[in-house]
Amino acid sequence: MARLNHKRPGRLPRIEVVDLFCGIGGLSYGMKTAGFRILAGFDLDQTCKYAYETNTGGEFIYKDIKEVTPYDIAHRYSRRAIRVLAGCAPCQPFSSYAFKNKEKDKNKYDLLYEFGRLVKDICPDIVTMENVPSIGSFKLKPVLDDFIKLLESLEYHVKTKVVYCPDYGVPQTRKRLVLLASRFGDIELIAPTHKKEEYLTVRDTISHLEPLQAGEKSQSDPLHRSRALSPLNLLRIKSTPEGGSWKDWDVSLQLECHKKDTGKSFGSVYGRMQWDQPSPTMTTQCTGLGNGRFGHPEQDRAITVREAALLQTFPREYIFFKNEKDISLSTAARYIGNAVPPRLGEIIAVSIIQHLIQHEKNMKCPWI
């Protein structure tokens, strides 16, 4: 993976981060890798506390964003620090699935407005947000447009970009919208770090791991553990070629729903990954064979938690559980699927550093 330049000139002060909707800390960890000081993360999933605090060094605060006060955040920043407020609100309300299930996540539509409320009262130096691209075309409420208008009314310089993650060293075909806003001047994401021929692949990322059968786990790595498969699903995966799906099966193996016209559009279900391509987007169900193209390229099983974590760019040393010998596969998959890839967090942090270097002379700050 390409190394990034994290160096800051001596005149720049410490850069401090508070992370809203922090989860287990993918974004915070990426920023920490770039040299940022992580102060705290806020989230409503108490089970994320151990992983967040252990890996990022920041304090995990269990609190609903609707109840978070400006003081809860502002008092944590040092007087002479660059203050970064990050907020990657849950993407599910704005996903394509949510467009068909509008009532399910109705209460989550306002989370970005709560983020805006805190920005308005705190006035951090830098604001960043990551979400699904479809948030920009969300029809029930113009949540992204309203957020950008608020930032611009507060005299922030705002830039958004839809990121194709392989362009930045993430080995999965994930697309995300990244927003950067600064009080100091124009800001944007750095140029892509990888050309198409340099994209990291499934082979680059997980081929070194020991082979496993369905339902088996590694003796040396508790997270390298595969879900068991029923006899029928084992026949199905054996009938699926690399890069294939249920469409390659004999009709006797197909589900009834796939034989209908309405089911034919779900071409990736029960699919295998390809060795020499990036993986599909890691979701909260990424260790289940029937939930997408999460079959191993050649072994007859779905990918393991360890494989999903590596494809999401979590390093081998990242600690997800206090006792990793006794884990829930569904919980681990939820942690990984909900996380910002740490590599993308690092890219955002390096973009902020380069922006600060460029605009250092324009800053009216106490350290100058």
Could you confirm whether 91 is annotated as catalytic? yes
Which pLDDT score is estimated for 3?
A: 66
Instruction: Please report the domains of the chain, with CATH numbers, ordered by start residue.
Output: 15-198+341-361 (3.40.50.150)
Task: Answer whether residue 99 shows pLDDT above 50.
Answer: no
Which pLDDT score is estimated for 138?
A: 66
pTM of the model: 0.91
Provide the mean pLDDT of the chain.
89
Which pLDDT score is estimated for 2?
A: 60
Residues whose CB is less than 8 angstroms from the CB of residue 104 and which lie 6 or more positions away in sequence, other chains included: 98
> What percentage of the chain has pLDDT greater than the value 90?
74
User: Cα–Cα distance between 240 and 309 in angstroms, integer?
Assistant: 24
Span 146-189, pLDDT tens digits: 999 999 999 999 999 999 999 999 999 999 999 999 999 999 99
Indicate the SS3 state at residue 288. coil
Among residues 22, 48, 88, 91, the one annotated as catalytic is: 91
Cβ(72)–Cβ(63) under 8 Å? Answer: yes
What are 16's strand-pairing partners?
37, 83
Q: How confident is the model at residue 139 (pLDDT cuts 50, 70, 90)?
A: low
Residues whose CB is less than 8 angstroms from the CB of residue 117 and which lie 6 or more positions away in sequence, other chains included: none
Enter the DSSP assignment of 262: G
